[in-house]
Amino acid sequence: MWAASCLASCCAACACDACRTVVSSISRRSARIAYCALFALSLIVSWILREVAAPLMEKIPWINTFHETPSRDWFQTDAVLRVSLGNFLFFTILSVMMIGVKSQRDLRDNIHHGGWMVKVICWFLLVVLMFFIPNEIITFYESMSKFGSGLFLLVQVVLLLDFVHRWNETWVGYDEQFWYIALFVVSLFCYVATFVSSGFLFHWFTPSGHDCGLNTFFIVTTLIFAFVFTVVALHPSVSGSVLPASVISLYCMYLCYSGLASEPRDYECNGLYKHSKAVSTATLALGLLTTVLSVVYSAVRAGSSTTLLSPPSSPRAGEPLLPLENSGEREEKGKAKPVSYSYSFFHIIFCLASMYSAMLLTGWTSSVGEGERLGILSTIFDDVNGV
């Protein structure tokens, strides 16, 4: 028994040392990738709790405070929002802490790049703590998330434009006929996909026999924007390219589809309610994939002067991601080197992404339905009468 206990202790110590070594290696290589991994973990936790936590949350008295137990969907939405709020608070705290960090000699630079075991524990505790707060706070956060999600969509457009412009410049830089033809083919494909998608949207969300003028307005407006993007890109004073315009047009059509698909399933103009749940699952997966790619790309491009995350005076502006943030380089010769990007704004991106991912996982629906809202009002009314 004594030998077995010693062996187990040695194995545990080795495992802890291995974890610390791996985490330390990650922080030296790229803290930004580690933050992306933590964000991806939060999405996985949200998805799991969305599927399995409802029966457990029904038994928690400070969550299920209604006279009549809400539907399963309410608890699924509530679980996602609570994880999202914990994630949001974690990155908000980091963002506030990193305000004004301009030099790598700043002590907060070490907080940003190191201490990963402590940060993961704090993130976990924040997420758990969110399941002990009242429903009113979650409802308020849900309202905030709708506005934060809109801001993140704007960030996605900026990041997509940055990516497509670099893509266009790379292929044009080859100055060969093959790459010009490739640009034309990709642009043509995006435009064809945009107009074909609009046909599907008209078929799904403007069924005959129903007054669906609002859905028609959104689809037509998106097509008009696609036309305007092309005209602006081809205007001589802009000297733009068709590729960015075509890609943005296709992305706007996807956003239009995502918005229309989030309409209530029993809404007469939402033709998707006739289809299986696989349609909404595919939409959810595509939306989450887009979110993760946007967040990862913001991290990868954080060291470039062409992004919002990096000041033009950055000594590493335009350099790739992976060679950055080596602790040996930061301490070389003891010089106070300026940071290569804004740590505070970097964490704000994750705050907005946390809100947007929560809206995607909940289908942009309210956690308080009509029945639950009446239950809350009834509870408040009873409390007032008691007083």
What are 217-233's pLDDT values in tens digits? 999 999 999 999 888 88
What does the pLDDT average to over 360-364?
A: 80
| Closest listed residue to residue 39, CA positions, set 325, 297, 318 | 297
Given a cut of 70, whether residue 204 has pLDDT beyond it is: yes
Task: Give the pLDDT confidence score for residue 237 in this predicted structure.
Answer: 77
Taking the C-alpha atoms of residue 288 and residue 276, their distance in angstroms, rounded to an integer, is 20
Cα–Cα distances in Å, from 221 out to 185, 210, 215, 217, 283?
Answer: 25, 20, 10, 6, 22
What does the pLDDT average to over 308-313?
A: 51
Torsion of CA 86, 293, 22, 340, to 10 degrees: -90
| Interior/surface letters 286-318, b for 16+ CB within 10 angstroms, e for the rest | ebbebbbebbbbbbbbbbbbebbbbeeebebbe
Given a cut of 50, whether residue 381 has pLDDT beyond it is: no
What are 280-306's pLDDT values in tens digits? 566 667 767 777 777 777 766 654 444
The band of 318, judged by pLDDT with boundaries at 50, 70 and 90, is very low
Residues 355 and 84 sit within 8 Å (Cβ to Cβ): yes
* Count of residues in the chain: 387
Taking the C-alpha atoms of residue 136 and residue 134, their distance in angstroms, rounded to an integer, is 6
- 22 token code pair: 């791996």
Residues 240 and 234 sit within 8 Å (Cβ to Cβ): yes
Q: What are phi and psi of 312, to 5 degrees?
A: -60, -25
Taking the C-alpha atoms of residue 333 and residue 347, their distance in angstroms, rounded to an integer, is 29
Residues 98 and 344 sit within 8 Å (Cβ to Cβ): yes
Given a cut of 60, whether residue 354 has pLDDT beyond it is: yes
Query: Looking up tokens 């803290």, which residue turns up?
Result: 31
With 0-12 CB in 10 A as exposed, 13-18 as middle and 19+ as buried, what is 61? exposed
| Closest listed residue to residue 97, CA positions, set 344, 348, 361, 374 | 344
The band of 8, judged by pLDDT with boundaries at 50, 70 and 90, is very low
- 366 token code pair: 């309210």
What does the pLDDT average to over 61-74?
A: 79
Task: Give the pLDDT confidence score for residue 296 in this predicted structure.
Answer: 76
Percent of the chain with pLDDT over 90: 26
Task: Give the pLDDT confidence score for residue 220 in this predicted structure.
Answer: 94
What are 229-288's pLDDT values in tens digits? 888 888 777 777 889 999 999 999 988 888 887 777 777 788 776 554 444 566 667 767
Task: Find the radius of gyration of the CA atoms of the chain.
Answer: 25
| Interior/surface letters 180-195, b for 16+ CB within 10 angstroms, e for the rest | eeebeebbeebbeebe
Round the average pLDDT of the chain to a whole number and report it.
77
Percent of the chain with pLDDT over 70: 72
CA 367 to chain centre: 19
What does the pLDDT average to over 358-373?
A: 65
